């Protein structure tokens, strides 16, 4: 799974969000490192919807602007859980190696 996909699924893990809300949440999750452009985000949302990982939740109109909210599906949640476990296992293994190289810094 690519990082933007992981971040989008993570952004939707605890609550449904609209497009710009997802962009903002991803910036928070990545400590400002990843800033998804709107075109990229919607292509990714289309793909995730087609794969059954996210779905439409509700619509709101705020200040005359249409906001469509998205949420994770059960499949999306399962995939995010599995991917998180995979990354945790890799991170744990990497940290163990780094501890043996740099005992104080790892």
Partner 1 sequence: MAGPLARRYRRLLLAYPRAYRRSRGEELLSALLDAALPERTRPTAQEAADLIRHGLRARLGRPASRTVVVWAVLSAIISGLFIAGFATRAAWETARPLPKTAEVRTMLAQILPGQEFTGIEDPQAMFVFNGQPLTWDTANDLLWGDGGEYAQSGIGGSVNGAPVIPPQDTVELAQHNLRAHGWTVYPTMTHNMYGCAGPPCDPATIPKSTTILARRSDTRFSMEVHSQYRSDTTSITAGFTRTTPWAVYPLGLTGGILGAVVAFLIFGWASRRTEGRHPAGAAVKKLLCVTLFFWWAPTLYAVPWTARHHLDEPHPSWHPMWEWLGQPTFSLLFLIGCGSALLGLAAAATEPRPDGEPLSTVASS
CB nearer to partner 1: pick between 20 and 96: 20
Can you tell me the distance from the alpha carbon of 27 to that of 66, in angstroms, rounded to the nearest whole number? 22
Interacting span for partner 1 (CB under 8 A) from 1-9, 34-42, 77-85, 87-95: 34-42
Name 37's bridge partners: none
91 binds partner 1 (CB under 8 A): no
Task: List interacting residues with partner 1 (CB under 8 A).
Answer: 18-20, 23, 37-43, 45-47, 49-51, 54-56, 64-68, 70
């Amino acid at each position: 799974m690519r990082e933007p996909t992981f971040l989008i699924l993570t952004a939707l893990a605890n609550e449904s969000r609209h497009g710009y809300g997802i962009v903002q949440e991803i910036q928070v999750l990545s400590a400002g490192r990843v800033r998804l452009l709107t075109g990229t985000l919607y292509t990714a949302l289309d793909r995730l919807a087609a794969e059954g990982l996210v779905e439409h939740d509700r619509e709101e109109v705020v200040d005359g602007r249409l906001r469509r909210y998205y949420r994770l599906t059960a499949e999306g949640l399962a995939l995010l859980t599995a991917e998180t476990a995979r990354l945790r296992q890799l991170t744990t293994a990497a940290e163990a190696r780094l501890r043996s190289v740099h005992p104080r810094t790892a």
